[in-house]
Amino acid sequence: MTLTTRPGTGATTTGPVDPAPSGGPLRVRGLRVAYGDREVVHGVDLDVRPGEVVALVGESGSGKSTTAHALIGLLPDGGRVTAGEVTLGEGPTPLTGLLPDAWRRVRGVRVGFVPQDPGTALDPVVRVGEQVAEALVVHGTPRRAARERAVEILAEVGLDRPRERARQYPHQLSGGMRQRVLVGIAMACEPELVIADEPTSALDVTVQRRVLDLLADLTGRAGTAVLLITHDLAVAADRADRVVVLKDGVVVEEGPAARVLGAPEHPYTRELVAAVPGRNNVPSASAPDAGPEPGAPDDTAPSGAGAVAGTATGTAVARTDPGTDPGPGATPALLEVRGLVKEFRLDRRERLRAVDDVSFAVPRGSAFALVGESGSGKSTTARLVLGLERPDAGAVELDGAPVGADRATRRRTQLVHQDPYSSLDPRFTVAAVVEEPLRAHRVGDRAERRERVAQLLQQVHLSPDLARRRPAELSGGQRQRVAIARALALDPELLVLDEPTSALDVSVQARVLELLARLRAERGLTYLFISHDLGVVRQVADHVGVMSDGRLVETGPVGRVFDHPAHPYTAELIAAIPGARTAAQHPDRKDLT
């Protein structure tokens, strides 16, 4: 993915740390944070002016989220600000040291906060609309007016059927929808400062663009300042005026986005930029009616017509009947999906067709990606492939045999979840987590399973010393490697990877993607890859299927589909990639190509 920085922010400096502008709603000086006796944030200085977007970037564990929580008095138990001053607006009273009653008059109305994980931030037993309205009620809006305004806010953050969504509970929404609800809550009172902690990490590119456009609208209309905590350097380059780079709790580089991300001076910043997936091979926002690249087959398959099968080398076979033989010389399909239909009941009268006549084939040893907006049917299709949901119509076959909810299917297909923290039992050690499928399928005795666990940890490049730790003691990247090791325990033929890198920072993401590529080459694995990150898809997949409203609207080799999209929806997805818009408007920019 190309990182194209915002036009008009191309000032240059002579050193790695540029002087921050003075004044503005947020001023931080010498902030230090400790957990117990261990200091984790070391003297951070930070300013955010009215109408400005400042991105705080760095690896997992660099201190980004700790800094954000310290600014608004939300550090977890054991964490405390040991030094420094944080002031908001022109008021002389610093925020550091405020009592709980005083904080309640600041949070929400003066400072909005968007947490990273919508699964834990929303109350599971309260309707979505009530949770948005509560942000208004606690600051004086009458409840009836707050409920009506909540529906408007849900529409503003891009939720379809907002009045209906307001009556739903969080578990009835997709992850991306829940994240948009959190953004709406933070913005409800139009605060002077919004602190957004990874607000788009779980969102597809079009929804990501709408959310970021909404943040930009606030900065322009109300002069709201935005402190954007993100590991997505493309988002930082596209949306931030200035970038602050944190490493081990220390600011190592700061300045205009174009300078910091276009010509980084600190070795750590250069390492982060180099790890961005596909930065030298970005999809282009071609016109919807552009034809295929010279010499490439025109294999766009409309929904229900069958998808394209191909080999890992990119050879494609257009198929009009998903059940026909792919022809001599083609790699036979391991996975066949034909005419899948799945509906869910919303209420007594209304049903939602989540998957609508979807067909595709995945050749053995290849990687097929499903992309599309949140709610497009990607994850539901994946659950149907795994036998975790039963289709209302259609069929899923693995090597010609029907897929079912049985032990044989479980051994041949495995799932790697989006969030490794919630998918790993927090009570288990790493060794117990990886060994669990071996025990469940009665594979080997205790000694043989222990040896197998050690081999699996070695294959995913984890130290044997981690085997005795629990998930909470690991970083996000380490937890995802544990999840991959567990998925490999039974030697599956098909791995279904549902957003496996979306929660990881760019350098850890790069290492996990390298691991997946190596495992695929060494073990002959076949991947069904679910992702909203088109840069990641460009890097790991051979073929891609684009889903919209439950239908497969376009399929083909990744290069052809991304460079010459034949469907308007595909072109819209590509145009929404962070940096694609400014790259199209300013083709002379070569900041980070």
Q: Which distant-in-sequence residues (6+ apart) come within 8 Å of 120 by Cβ?
A: none
Packing angle between helix 205-221 and helix 175-187, nearest 10 degrees?
0
The alpha carbon dihedral of 160, 161, 165, 166 has a sign of positive
CA distance 488 to 501: 17
Structure tokens at 292: 């295929």
Give yes or no for a contact between 428 and 474, defined as CB atoms under 8 angstroms apart.
no
The alpha carbon dihedral of 163, 169, 173, 176 has a sign of positive
Helical segments of 222-299, H only: 233-239, 257-262, 267-274
Using the predicted structure, report yes or no on whether residue 244 has a pLDDT greater than 80: yes
pLDDT (tens digit per residue) in 358-410: 999 999 999 999 998 877 889 899 999 998 889 999 999 998 888 876 777 77
What are the structural domains, with CATH classification, of the chain? Answer: 116-188 (no CATH), 284-318+333-344+353-399+493-576 (3.40.50.300), 426-491 (no CATH)
Confidence at residue 478, expressed as pLDDT on a 0 to 100 scale: 84
Using the predicted structure, report yes or no on whether residue 588 has a pLDDT greater than 70: no
Packing angle between helix 175-187 and helix 128-137, nearest 10 degrees?
10
Structure tokens at 206: 């079009």
Using the predicted structure, report yes or no on whether residue 8 has a pLDDT greater than 50: no
Give yes or no for a contact between 149 and 141, defined as CB atoms under 8 angstroms apart.
yes
Residue 441 or residue 6, greater confidence: 441
Using the predicted structure, report yes or no on whether residue 426 has a pLDDT greater than 50: yes
pLDDT (tens digit per residue) in 518-544: 889 988 999 999 988 888 898 899 999
Is the entire prediction scored with pTM above 0.85? no
Q: How many CB atoms lie within 10 A of CB 557?
A: 22
CA distance 198 to 177: 15
Please report the DSSP string for 285-314 in residue order: ---TT--PPTT-------TTS---EE-TT-
Confidence category of residue 132, pLDDT binned at 50, 70, 90: very high
Using the predicted structure, report yes or no on whether residue 352 has a pLDDT greater than 70: yes
CA distance 502 to 508: 11
Packing angle between helix 128-137 and helix 143-156, nearest 10 degrees?
120
Using the predicted structure, report yes or no on whether residue 217 has a pLDDT greater than 70: yes
Confidence category of residue 449, pLDDT binned at 50, 70, 90: very high
Question: Facing residues of 32 across strands?
Answer: 42, 83
Structure tokens at 564: 């010459």
> Out of 156-170, 239-253, 332-346, 573-587, which region has the weakest mean confidence (pLDDT)?
573-587
Question: Facing residues of 342 across strands?
Answer: 355
Give yes or no for a contact between 502 and 531, defined as CB atoms under 8 angstroms apart.
yes
SS (H, E, C) 534-568: HHHHHHHCCEEEEEECCEEEEEEEHHHHHHCCCCH
Confidence at residue 532, expressed as pLDDT on a 0 to 100 scale: 80
SS (H, E, C) 384-427: HHCCCCCCCEEEEEECCEECCCCHHHHHHEEEECCCHHHHCCCC
Phi/psi at 55 (5° precision): -100, 130
Give yes or no for a contact between 293 and 308, defined as CB atoms under 8 angstroms apart.
no
Residue 591 or residue 258, greater confidence: 258
Give yes or no for a contact between 107 and 82, defined as CB atoms under 8 angstroms apart.
no
Q: Which of 74, 79, 95 is nearest to 29 (CA)?
A: 95
Mean model confidence pLDDT for the chain: 80
What Å distances lie between residue 426 and 97, 470, 477, 481, CA to CA?
34, 6, 16, 15
Give yes or no for a contact between 176 and 374, defined as CB atoms under 8 angstroms apart.
yes
Exposed, middle or buried: residue 585 (CB in 10 Å: 0-12, 13-18, 19+)? exposed
Q: Which distant-in-sequence residues (6+ apart) come within 8 Å of 173 by Cβ?
A: 128, 165, 181
Structure tokens at 438: 């071996």
**H helix or E strand, kind and range, residue 585:** helix 580-585
